[in-house]
Amino acid sequence: MFRKIVAAVDGSSSSLNALRQAIALARSEKGVIKALSVAPPYTGDLGLVGVHEHVNDVIRAPYRKALEQAAMVAERANIIIKTILEIGEPADKIVEVAEDLNCELIVVGTQGVNPTKTALVGSTAARVIALSHVNVLAVPATSSINLDRILLATDGSECSETATVAAFEIQKSYGSGIIVLSVADVPSHLYGLDARAADRILNEAKEALERIRFKSEQFGVQIESLFREGSPTKTINEIAAEILGIDRVSLWRKIKRYELE
């Protein structure tokens, strides 16, 4: 399913771990990996040619080193990768290169549990997820890929519907078990103020789960379903830790457009 992969590297431990996971996936798929590092452009006085070239070398040095480290990781894993150095805004370039090369997956490292939350809006992982039309795998620094079981969180949105199809495609390719989770985020005070509004939120969350059950029958995919009340972020990660036996969540996303608040 993922035979052409772009792995973003910047020399950090999380990006190198993400590369290792990309290598593991590429090996099982007999795939090809492009290790990409994006250096920021020089924005000083472009008229100072000599200075400009020297500063560019200084700016790009850490990113060249990151690609050298990536090549060494790949060599130790006995796999050949192609390294690419680009100049520009990291997320934009990562998405651009992946789409230009017709890749099926972008792999990025992240220090956070959930790169789409407000605290990490400025992160490269969050922007890649927001901008990409290609599947994105965000890998926390200490996580590893395990496709035996997938936790699919749904809220009934268009993005969730697209993620559902992606999860079903993964299941077809890898035989993964799928656990579908819908979380109703009902403020505790709402029950006393407006019981109908609380019931509406609960019913919408349950309906989202039912739609995926129906879709799973169309795809011929078996799923387990869970319904919970609470904070979606907290509940998703608690369920992941409980059921999947992990401390952090790797996020599979395939989205046409995602707006960050």
- Residue 239 sits in a domain whose CATH number is 3.40.50.620
Same domain, 133 and 211: no
Count of domains observed in the chain: 2
Query: Which of 123, 145, 167 represents a domain boundary (last residue)?
Result: 145
Does residue 256 belong to any structural domain of this protein? no
Same domain, 76 and 13: yes
Q: At what angle do helices 124-131 and 90-100 cross, to 10 degrees?
A: 40
Expressed as residue numbers, the domain containing 10 is: 1-145
Between 218 and 35, residue with greater pLDDT: 35
Query: Which of 110, 127, 145 represents a domain boundary (last residue)?
Result: 145
Same domain, 102 and 204: no
Same domain, 24 and 140: yes
**For residue 184, which phi and psi values (nearest 5 degrees)?**
-90, 115
Same domain, 31 and 100: yes
The distance in angstroms from the start CA to the end CA of the chain is: 31
Does residue 255 belong to any structural domain of this protein? no
Quote the pLDDT of residue 96.
Answer: 96
Same domain, 212 and 236: yes
Decide: 240 and 246 in contact? Cβ < 8 Å: yes
Decide: 59 and 9 in contact? Cβ < 8 Å: no
Compute the average pLDDT of residues 181-195.
Answer: 75
**What's the mean per-residue pLDDT of the chain?**
81
Quote the pLDDT of residue 45.
Answer: 58
Between 2 and 39, residue with greater pLDDT: 39
Does residue 170 belong to any structural domain of this protein? yes
Quote the pLDDT of residue 257.
Answer: 37
Non-local CB neighbours of 240 within 8 Å, separated by 6+ positions: 151, 246, 249
Does residue 122 belong to any structural domain of this protein? yes
Same domain, 116 and 150: no
Non-local CB neighbours of 122 within 8 Å, separated by 6+ positions: none
Task: Retrieve residue 213's tokens.
Answer: 């059950």
Does position 114 have pLDDT exceeding 50, yes or no? no
Between 28 and 158, residue with greater pLDDT: 158
Same domain, 27 and 105: yes
Does residue 61 belong to any structural domain of this protein? yes
State how far the Cα of 184 lies from the Cα of 187, in Å rounded to an integer.
9
Same domain, 181 and 126: no
Same domain, 202 and 125: no
Residue 191's pLDDT band, with cuts at 50, 70 and 90, is low
- Tell me the Cα Rg of the chain: 20
Query: Which of 93, 123, 145 represents a domain boundary (last residue)?
Result: 145
Does residue 257 belong to any structural domain of this protein? no
Decide: 242 and 149 in contact? Cβ < 8 Å: no
Between 1 and 250, residue with greater pLDDT: 1
Quote the pLDDT of residue 102.
Answer: 94
Same domain, 157 and 237: yes
Residue 116's pLDDT band, with cuts at 50, 70 and 90, is very low
Residue 130's pLDDT band, with cuts at 50, 70 and 90, is confident
pTM: 0.77
State how far the Cα of 98 lies from the Cα of 87, in Å rounded to an integer.
15
Quote the pLDDT of residue 123.
Answer: 79
Give me the percent of the chain exceeding a pLDDT of 70.
Answer: 81
Does residue 120 belong to any structural domain of this protein? yes
Same domain, 92 and 38: yes
- Alpha helix segments (H runs only) across the chain: 13-29, 49-76, 90-100, 124-131, 158-174, 190-193, 195-219, 232-239
Quote the pLDDT of residue 223.
Answer: 92
Compute the average pLDDT of residues 143-161.
Answer: 86
